[in-house]
Structure 1
Amino acid sequence: MKKLLTFNTMVTPKIITIIYWLLCFGAVVGGIGLMFSGYRGPSAGTIFIGLVTIAGGILSARIWCELLIVLFKIHDNLKVIAERPHQ
């Protein structure tokens, strides 16, 4: 608990995983919504746009979350370097 209160442990990387899955869920729901958004039901155009939205949304969410995780990995590695004995 002390590590958490003194900011020695990062909580955000765990939260980023949850955010990633929420973004994926949102991309799928949004894509399905676009597929069935036509007045006369789904057509080839709306289905294609929905599938592109799903794929693009999931890919974008993955890239964004990975970039955030990279920042935390850099922080962890800098901490290791700083704790090494100096020569």
Structure 2
Amino acid sequence: MKSVFFFDSMLTPKIVTFIYWLLLLVSIVGGLATIFTGYGSSAIFLGLLQIVGGVLGARIWCELMIVIFKINGNLQKLVDRKQGE
């Protein structure tokens, strides 16, 4: 618990994983809602596009966020190694 309060460990990567699953659920439900409640013949296409775009967008955004934290972790390892010399 001390590491969280003094920012020795990052809490946000765990939150990003939760947000990723939440975004997946929202994009799938939204796409299905577009398919089943949409009007016209393009509703199926738009719903599938919404699902695919939402899933890809969520994945790319979350991967970028995780990469930022991995860079931070690797920099912290370098600092710790440098201080140990």
TM-score (norm 1): 0.88
1:34 is the counterpart of 2:50? no
Q: 1:65-86: CA deviations, max 9, x gaps?
A: 0000000000000001111236
Q: What residue is the counterpart of 1:57 in the other structure?
A: 54
Moved over 4 A (4+): none
Q: What residue is the counterpart of 1:78 in the other structure?
A: 75
Deviates more, 1:60-69 or 1:3-12: 3-12
Q: Distance in 2 between matches of 1:10 and 1:27?
A: 27
Q: Distance in 2 between matches of 1:85 and 1:15?
A: 30
Percent identical:
51
State the Cα distance separating 1:52 from its structure 2 match.
Answer: 0.9
State the Cα distance separating 1:32 from its structure 2 match.
Answer: 0.8
Count of residue correspondences: 84
Consecutive unaligned residues in structure 2, runs of 5 or more: none
Consecutive unaligned residues in structure 1, runs of 5 or more: none
Q: What residue is the counterpart of 1:7 in the other structure?
A: 7
Q: Helix, strand or coil: the match of 2:42?
A: helix
Say what the alpha-carbon RMSD is for the aligned residues. Answer: 1.5
Q: What residue is the counterpart of 1:68 in the other structure?
A: 65
State the Cα distance separating 1:63 from its structure 2 match.
Answer: 0.0
Q: Distance in 1 between matches of 2:24 and 2:76?
A: 32
